[in-house]
Amino acid sequence: MNILSELHQDHINLSRLLEMLDRKVERLREGNHPDFSLMAEVISYVGSYADQHHHPREDKMYAFFQGRDSSLDQALEHCEEEHKQLKHLSTHLEESIDGILNDVVMPMDKFTDQLDEFVQAEKRHLNFEEETIFPLLRSIASEADWQQLADQLPQSEDPLFGEKQADEYRSLYKALMEDMNRSESAG
C-alpha cells in the first residue's frame, strides 16, 4: 500500500468522525445537548492526529512532488492555506468546548454554527485533496517515486483506527461506536 492509499484511508476514517459531528450539529439545531466531553475528544483527535501524523506525511509527500507540475503546485499552495485555516478552526473550537465544559456561558446557536463551520471546512478540504490533489499526483508519479517516497516517510499508526489503538483513544473508540449505534437505531 502506498502513501496515497494510506492517506485516503485516513480521509475515510476522518469522514466517519465528521459524519458523526454533522449529526451532532443536527441534534444541536433540534435543541438537544450532546456529550461535550465526547465531542471534545473527537475534535482533539481530529486536530492532533492531523497535526502529528497526517499533515506531516502529506506535507513531505507534497514537497517531494513540488515543482513538477504547475497545476499541482497551485493546488498544493491552496492546500497549505487550508491546513492553516483548519488548524485555526480546530483550536478555536477546542477552546469553545473547553469553555463550555468549564461552565463558560456560550449561546448554543453560536457554538453550533462554529461546529458546523469546522465540519464543513474539513469535508471541503478532504474532498479537495481527494478530487484535485490525489488525481494530479497519480498522473505525474511513477512507481519509483512512490518507492522513494515510502523509504523517506516515517511510518504512522493511527491511534484511534489503527491496529495498535492508543490507550487514550480506547474509551473514545468505544463511545463513538455506542454513539453510532444509538444514531443508527434512532435514525
- pLDDT tens digits, 14-59: 888 888 888 888 988 998 877 788 788 888 877 777 777 788 888 8
Domain boundaries, the chain: 3-186
Q: Which residue has the cell 445537548?
A: 33
Query: From the centroid of its chain, how far is CA 83?
Result: 10
Q: Which residue, among 7, 122, 103, 119, has the nearest Cα to 55 in the 3D structure?
A: 7
> E strands of the chain, at which residues?
none
**Cβ-Cβ contacts under 8 Å for 42 (sequence gap 6 or more):** 17, 20, 21, 172, 176
Over pLDDT 70: what percentage of the chain?
Answer: 81
- pLDDT tens digits, 146-176: 999 888 876 655 555 555 545 555 666 666 6
Predicted TM-score of the model (pTM): 0.83
Q: What is the pLDDT of residue 49?
A: 74
Q: What is the pLDDT of residue 151?
A: 85
Would you call 66 helix, strand, or coil by DSSP? coil
Handedness of CA 2, 12, 61, 152 (dihedral sign): negative
Q: What is the pLDDT of residue 14?
A: 86
Contact indicator for 128, 78 with CB cutoff of 8 Å: yes
CATH numeric code, 3-186: 1.20.120.520
- pLDDT tens digits, 53-80: 788 888 889 999 999 999 999 999 999 9
